[in-house]
Amino acid sequence: MNVIRSEDAPKAIGPYSQAISSGTLVFLSGQIPLNPKSGNIEGKTIEEQTEQVLNNLKAVLSAAGTDLSHVVRCTVFLTDLSEFGAFNKVYGTFFALNPPARSTVQVAKLPRDSKIEIDAIAAKD
């Protein structure tokens, strides 16, 4: 088991790791749209926040030696499912070919009042 850290993604804001690799799998903690440099929420719209979250996940995946094309599962948490269509358009640009399995749920609240959080599981070849 290895702890994965990326300076290009936000530092953990609690007692957890950005990701853990075990064997050929990488388990990524949920990312919210924090700008890794400023520590502030990036973007006001669901589209802007989705893009930041996915860029954060990309950075952690890179530190783990893999990328978005190896993601096998995502869980998406939205504070407003009426924004699902707008979220899905941005998400689809990051996973254009062979998108991973996914669950999407609405939640009452997310850390730092973000609109979205995504966690993921990826494979390492």
* Spatial CA neighbour of 13 closest among 44, 27, 34: 34
Mean pLDDT by 10 residues, the chain (125 residues): 96 93 97 96 97 98 97 98 98 96 98 97 93
pLDDT confidence of residue 125:
79
pLDDT confidence of residue 122:
98
On whether the CB atoms of residues 115 and 48 are closer than 8 A, the answer is no
Q: What's the rounded Cα separation, in Å, for the pair 54 and 84?
A: 15
Please state the CATH superfamily assignment of the domain spanning residues 2-123 in this structure: RutC-like (3.30.1330.40)
Q: So where are the chain's domains?
A: 2-123
CA–centroid distance for 95 within its chain: 12
CA–centroid distance for 61 within its chain: 10
pTM for the structure as a whole: 0.96
Write out the two tokens for 24.
């050929």
